[in-house]
Amino acid sequence: MNRILQDPALNRRGLLTFAGAAVLAGCSPPSPPSVDGSTGVLKFSIVAPESASSLESFWRPIIADMEKATGLKIEPYIGANYTALVEAMRFKQTHFGWFTNLSGLEAIRRAGGEVFARTFDPGGDDGYNSVILVPAKSKTTLEDILRCDKTLNFGIGDAKSTSGTLAPKTYLFSPKGIDIQTCFKTLKSANHNTNLVGVANGVLDAATGNSTSLRLQRERDVERAAKGEPTLGDKVRVVWSSPRLPEDPIVWRKDLDPAIKEKLRQFFLTYAQGEGAEAERQRGLLAKLSIGGFKPADDNHLLRVREMEATEALLQAERGGDPSRIAEARKALEGVKAEEAALQARTGQPADAT
- Would residue 1 count as lying in a domain? no
Instruction: Note the pLDDT of residue 39.
Output: 61
pLDDT at 25: 36
Both 70 and 103 in a single domain? Answer: yes
pLDDT for 258 beyond 90? yes
Please report whether residue 268 resides in a domain: yes
pLDDT of residue 12: 47
**Count of domains in the chain?**
3
Within a domain: residue 155? yes
Q: Does 85 share its domain with 182?
A: no
Q: What is the mean pLDDT of residues 222-239?
A: 92
Instruction: Say if residue 87 is in the same domain as residue 189.
Output: no
Looking at the fold, whether 263 and 159 belong to one and the same domain comes out as no
**Across the chain, what does the average pLDDT equal?**
86
**What is the per-residue pLDDT across 124-160, written as a single tens digit (0 to 9) for each?**
778 899 999 999 999 999 999 999 999 999 999 988 8
351 confidence band (pLDDT: 50, 70, 90): low
Question: Tens digit of pLDDT for each residue in 21-68?
Answer: 333 333 444 444 555 665 689 999 986 544 445 655 788 999 999 999
**CA dist., res. 49 & res. 65, Å (int):** 20
Report, as an integer, the average pLDDT of 204-217. Answer: 92
220 and 263 housed in the same domain: no
134 belongs to a structural domain: yes
Per the structure, the complete domain to which residue 40 belongs is given by 21-125+247-297
Residue 345 lies in a domain: yes
3-state secondary structure 259-328: HHHHHHHHHHHHCCCCCCHHHHHHHHHHHCCCCCEEEECCHHHHHHHHHHHHHHHHHHHHHHCCHHHHHH
Nearest to 209 by CA among 95, 261, 132: 132
Residue type, 334: E
Which helix or strand (DSSP H or E) is residue 336 part of? Answer: helix 323-347
Catalogue the E-assigned strands of the chain.
Answer: 21-23, 42-47, 74-79, 96-98, 113-120, 127-128, 130-135, 153-156, 186-189, 206-210, 236-241, 245-246, 249-253, 293-296
Phi/psi of residue 263, each to 5°?
A: -65, -45
Query: Does the pLDDT at position 11 exceed 60?
Result: no
Q: How high is the pLDDT of residue 40? A: 81
In-domain check, residue 2: no
Average pLDDT over residues 254-263: 96
Q: Indicate if the pLDDT at residue 257 is higher than 60.
A: yes
Q: Which of 272, 297, 322 corresponds to the end of one domain? A: 297
- CATH code of the domain covering residue 166: 3.40.190.10
Output the pLDDT for position 267.
98
Same domain, 178 and 251: no
Q: pLDDT by residue (tens digit) across 290-335?
A: 899 999 999 999 999 999 999 999 999 998 999 999 999 999 999 9
Give the domain-ending residue among 256, 279, 297: 297
Residue 189 resides in a domain:
yes
Residue 97: per-residue pLDDT? 95
Confirm whether 14 is domain-assigned.
Answer: no
User: Looking at the predicted structure, is the pLDDT value of residue 79 above 90?
Assistant: no
**In this structure, are 155 and 116 located in the same domain?**
no
Distance between CA atoms of 166 and 169, rounded to whole angstroms? 5
- Looking at the fold, whether 152 and 234 belong to one and the same domain comes out as yes
Q: Are 215 and 122 in contact (CB under 8 A)?
A: no
Shared domain check, 117 and 252: yes
Tell me: do 345 and 241 sit in the same domain: no
pLDDT at 43: 95
Could you tell me if 150 and 260 lie in one domain?
Answer: no
Same domain, 215 and 321: no
Q: Looking at the predicted structure, is the pLDDT value of residue 14 above 80?
A: no
